[in-house]
Structure 1
Amino acid sequence: MRVMVIGSGAREHALVWKLAQSPQVTKLYAAPGNPGMAECAECVPLAMSQFDDLATFAEKNGIDLTVVGPEIPLIEGIVDIFRQRGLKVFGPDSAGAALEGSKAFAKELMASAGIPSAQHRTFLEAGPALAYLEEHGAPVVVKASAWAAGKGAIVALDLETARDAVEQMLVRHTFGAAGRIVVIEDYLQGDEVSVIAACNGTHYLPLAVTQDHKRALDNDQGLNTGGMGAYTPVPFVDAETEKRMYREITAATLQAMQGKGITFTGILYTNIMLTAQGPMVVEHNTRFGDPETQAMMVLLREDLLNVVQFAETLPVKRETLWHPGYGVSLGLASAGYPGNYPKGLPIHGIEEANRLPGVHVFHAGTAMQDGQLVTAGGRVLSVAARGATLREATSLVYEAAKLISFEGMFYRHDIAHRGLEVE
């Protein structure tokens, strides 16, 4: 099969790296790719926003399957265009991707279907939103309804922070178009985890339970980011809780979407808070997670091509999906991230890190400049490792991180801390 992966980050590098191991893949493309992906795929100089050009490339080059990594192309309808042209593509169409693209839509869907989630209200103007805050009080979570690169949710433990969040979105327009509609929801307490499934509309393949680390700094301090590290499986989630999350949330969401005439295909990756009242949805995502995918791919035993094609042939058994043990990923970021950060700084040590057993370094924001690998993003690299125990896998990613350097590099030092407490 000839396969193309759309994207340029560490998530897509991990997907390309795993697909390159498939005996079924005869040719692999990455569009636009990055220097890491260029080692195992042919990079195509097309932007992710060039939907028609990408579809034309797929037609001309006989691409049998396209896998879409990032959320924005999905939300904006790349799958619709590929399918209209008779091209096979893995991911939801724009109607399905609205689960991630519109928090307001997702919340209303869950409320109507009885899927457990925080109580919420939706606002278009600051006045009513501020009045609601005065009546409701804090803590709350204020969310930009549309996609905001993982940074559109502000946890407000006091009213002052909540008011400022509303004003950022609806008055100062800090989040641009993403913040034109605001969802204010009750603050949920507990451990947050994610359940990930490959879906074909009516059926789903449970993949993994993971835990992400969204804040930039240790001890969950600092600003929200796209994710500073993740691990799987999660030791404090027992088998019964896992089954309950898939049954009451994943299956129920697919059924609710069907009720609206939407057949959801692709990855449904749901952030869930384990509260005293039971699992409750924080938000839905409609693609592979980043940094969750990096941890998953180093642990995956099954051919990834079988996983993304399971909807047609169901060739995958969950009990043979994974290697025994744990997968951990760690993000190496540029100084200033998730705010402004420098670019073009030389990167060293990746080759040495990749020589450690069970370790692979995935490129997130890198570029080649005069023959030198340099930084080109906020999250620059993602170090992933597989180990027999969570402690072994975690130790490996930190050992590898110490071998890598670029000016201003920082990372969290407490990835998987909750899992390690349990282990």
Structure 2
Amino acid sequence: MDRRNFLFVSIDGLVGDLAWQVRQEGHDVRYAIDNEDEGDIADGFVAKTDDWEADVPWADVIVFDDVFGHGTNAERLRAEGKAVVGGTAYTDRLEEEKGFGQEELADHGVNILPRRQFSDFGKAVEFVRDNPARYVVKPSGEVQNVKRLVYVGQDDDGSDVIDVLQAYEKAWGHRMKSFELQRRADGVEVAVGAFFDGDAFVEPVNVNFEHKKLFPGNVGPATGEMGTSMFWTEPTALFERTLRPLEDTLAEEGYVGYIDLNCIVNGRGIYPLEFTSRFGYPGIFIQQAGMKTPLSRLLADIANGRDPDLQVHRGFQVGVRVCLPPFPFDDEATFVENSKNAAVVFREAFEGERPPGVHIEDVKRVGPDGSTEGVTPADGQWRVAGTSGIPLVVIGRGASMRAAQAQAYRRIEDIILPNMYYRDDIGDRWVDDGDRLHSWGYLR
């Protein structure tokens, strides 16, 4: 592919690794981060810009990394004739407003679990008392990305959910303006997703298993994601019965990018839980490990409405997030004391810019003089950036899930980073969950 100009636009610095990869593939890149606190992420890896709107005429391809208003920007720029990877106001709502996402699924003939939206904690408590059952509490709006607020009810009479709602009202009532109560279903949690080129889904599709809790064994606070196992496949029953029914609507919207639907499945059916109408993080980094097609070509093709003829490796990918204090919590003093500017060291020398299987999240590259300008791979040192304490994602690929898992953890052993922690069981779920999904017929 000819050399192109790629403009990456981010709210919180999520897409730096993709920008870096596209630059490594021989293209010119500029990267904008709205949040000043995260503004040093990817410094020294890619060129940065403070005013992405001013760089729009320069860009051949514009890539947005999130929802929360990016869909409106993407729509506007597409209407102006620009090649854009990004959503629409409609697809932003699919993710931002969980109730709306569920209504759209139902309208498209997809089975959903019983659910109800609330903006009043007292009415929600009254509802649970009148309708005792196990529920999942899901915040909406501003705090929906505070994953530790998602609560999965354990008591059959809903008494624990009532306790949680009353506690949330006191602690979060000023910010948690709306939330959803969804009936809990037991089964396998699995997600299915695919790229969309503005007209149709790009095949193959991706089946993935997120590991959201902080500690091995899936215990502890919810983090958003500690790691993911996945594989690429031709469309399966799981895909055909969940995302496929939305294909015509997404085409009418002109959606361009990746879209994912997290589900609970069991022997009785498939029950979608929530959309991710954008790249997933760290999912998109792990997906690259299974792709033969260069990332830059994929992005340019779908932005221009072309089928990228996505070629993938057979087998499995496992990605592990390497974290530092205070993740998954927000504590500036702890971050400054334990993590800020910490050096990332690799035991083994590596060729090129990237150690095998290592992807950056909140990292910058600093030269001997402390500058991030004009730093080369040879003289630059990786340092922890941003504020969240998620510096790296380490990925393995193999013909079996166990082989991919083993490669990922061997690569982590090559990293020296004081205070780092990670889950050591990413991929273990496949042993049981894969058998059940096959026996129920959802992977055929």
Give TM class, smaller chain.
0.7 to 0.9
Rounded to whole Å, the distance in 1 between the matches of 2:22 and 2:402 is 27
> Which amino acid in 2 is paired with 1:382?
V
> Which amino acid in 1 is paired with 2:429?
R
Structure 1 partner of 2:191: 194
Q: 1:144 aligns with which of 139, 148, 152?
A: 139
Contact 2:42-2:364 within 8 A present in 1 as well: no
Structure 2 partner of 1:411: 422
> Which amino acid in 2 is paired with 1:146?
G
Alignment of 1:155-194 (within 5 A): 155-158=152-155, 159-169=158-168, 171-172=169-170, 174=172, 177=175, 179-194=176-191
Rounded to whole Å, the distance in 2 between the matches of 1:30 and 1:92 is 18
Q: 1:116 aligns with which of 106, 111, 117?
A: 111
Structure 1 partner of 2:64: 68
Contact 2:85-2:302 within 8 A present in 1 as well: no
Rounded to whole Å, the distance in 1 between the matches of 2:207 and 2:321 is 19
TM-score, normalising length: structure 1:
0.83
TM-score, normalising length: structure 2:
0.80
TM superposition shift of 1:84 = 5.5
Runs of 5+ consecutive residues of structure 2 not aligned to the other structure:
371-380, 436-444
Contact 2:346-2:414 within 8 A present in 1 as well: no
Q: Say whether residues 1:5 and 2:5 are aligned partners.
A: no
Go from structure 1 to structure 2 and tell me whether the alpha carbon gap of 1:68 and 1:172 turns closer, same or farther (over 3 Å shift).
same
Rounded to whole Å, the distance in 2 between the matches of 1:173 and 1:191 is 32
32-41 or 90-99, which deviates more: 32-41
Q: Say whether residues 1:374 and 2:384 are aligned partners.
A: yes
Rounded to whole Å, the distance in 1 between the matches of 2:364 and 2:220 is 27
Alignment of 1:10-409 (within 5 A): 12-22=15-25, 26-32=27-33, 37-38=42-43, 40-44=45-49, 46=50, 53-59=51-57, 62-74=58-70, 77-83=72-78, 85-146=80-141, 148-149=144-145, 151=147, 152-158=149-155, 159-169=158-168, 171-172=169-170, 174=172, 177=175, 179-206=176-203, 207-233=205-231, 242-255=235-248, 262-308=253-299, 309-310=301-302, 312=304, 314-318=306-310, 321-341=311-331, 342-344=334-336, 345=339, 346-352=341-347, 355=350, 359-367=356-364, 371=370, 373-374=383-384, 376-409=387-420
TM superposition shift of 1:310 = 3.3
TM superposition shift of 1:199 = 1.9
Go from structure 1 to structure 2 and tell me whether the alpha carbon gap of 1:94 and 1:313 turns closer, same or farther (over 3 Å shift).
closer
Runs of 5+ consecutive residues of structure 1 not aligned to the other structure:
47-52
Rounded to whole Å, the distance in 1 between the matches of 2:407 and 2:39 is 24
Task: Please give the secondary structure, in 2, of the residue aligned with 1:227.
Answer: strand
Go from structure 1 to structure 2 and tell me whether the alpha carbon gap of 1:175 and 1:109 turns closer, same or farther (over 3 Å shift).
farther
> How many percent identity over aligned positions?
20
Q: What is the aligned length?
A: 400
Contact 2:61-2:303 within 8 A present in 1 as well: no
Task: Please give the secondary structure, in 2, of the residue aligned with 1:379.
Answer: coil
TM superposition shift of 1:285 = 0.9
203-212 or 84-93, which deviates more: 84-93
TM superposition shift of 1:138 = 3.2
Deviations 1:46-89 (CA, angstroms, capped at 9, x unpaired): 3xxxxxx3222222xx10111112333536x3324434554332
> Which amino acid in 1 is paired with 2:129?
E
Task: Please give the secondary structure, in 2, of the residue aligned with 1:229.
Answer: strand
Task: Please give the secondary structure, in 2, of the residue aligned with 1:132.
Answer: helix
